């Protein structure tokens, strides 16, 4: 099975700079990280799974691109301030990381964020699902380029799910 970069990323790649530093949080096997590296960025991928990162490194080498990877538990995040031009976060939610992402973006930097939203009050574990409007509120003060909440139709590996998406730019310094 060939994995493809997230549609949110490919749809907004025209906003991503052709050089600079990018972070892919919870990168898994690195599909989005590799896509960003092929776009010209120096990419740092973080994930808690050493095995997934080994697969990402193999794929990057096979695709002829370089990415930097580290095993990191994003429940206790730390990132350097104003370091990244782009941050991506797909299908992962760690609320403690959101303020860290905000400060780690350079002025004018871009965040692309997509994760699962609560389908009902009775969701299995609410700490893993965004509430309606929560993602947009988490990046208050940023220029909102795209914000959407909706339903993802059932796929081979999952039933119907709700998602929340955001593409936003950190304000430039005045």
Give CA–CA dist 42/97, Å, rounded: 21
Q: Which domains does the chain have, with CATH numbers?
A: 7-114+125-140+162-169 (3.40.50.150)
H/E stretch holding 31? helix 31-38
pTM as predicted: 0.90
What does the alpha-carbon distance between residue 19 and residue 41 come to, in Å, rounded to a whole number?
5
pLDDT at 2: 59
The pLDDT tens digits along the chain (174 residues) read 558 999 999 999 999 999 999 999 999 999 999 999 999 999 999 999 999 999 999 999 999 999 999 999 998 889 999 999 999 999 898 999 999 999 999 999 999 999 988 765 555 566 777 788 889 999 999 999 999 988 765 555 545 578 889 999 999 975
CB-based contact 32:6 (threshold 8 Å): yes
């Amino acid at each position: 099975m060939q994995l493809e970069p997230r549609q949110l990323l490919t749809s907004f790649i025209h906003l991503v700079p052709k050089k600079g530093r990018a972070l892919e949080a919870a990168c898994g096997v690195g599909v989005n990280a590799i896509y960003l590296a092929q776009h010209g960025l120096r990419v740092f991928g973080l994930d808690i799974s050493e095995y997934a990162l080994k697969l990402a490194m193999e794929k990057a080498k096979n695709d002829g691109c370089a990415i930097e990877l580290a095993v990191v538990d994003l429940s206790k995040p730390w990132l350097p301030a104003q370091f990244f031009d782009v941050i991506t976060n797909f299908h992962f939610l760690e609320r403690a990381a959101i303020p860290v992402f905000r400060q780690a973006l350079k002025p004018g930097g871009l965040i692309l964020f997509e994760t699962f939203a609560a389908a009902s009050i009775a969701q299995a574990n609410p700490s893993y699902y965004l509430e309606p409007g929560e993602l947009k509120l988490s990046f208050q003060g940023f220029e909102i380029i795209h914000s959407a909440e909706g339903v993802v139709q059932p796929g081979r590996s999952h039933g119907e799910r709700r998602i929340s998406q955001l593409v936003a730019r950190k304000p430039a310094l005045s």
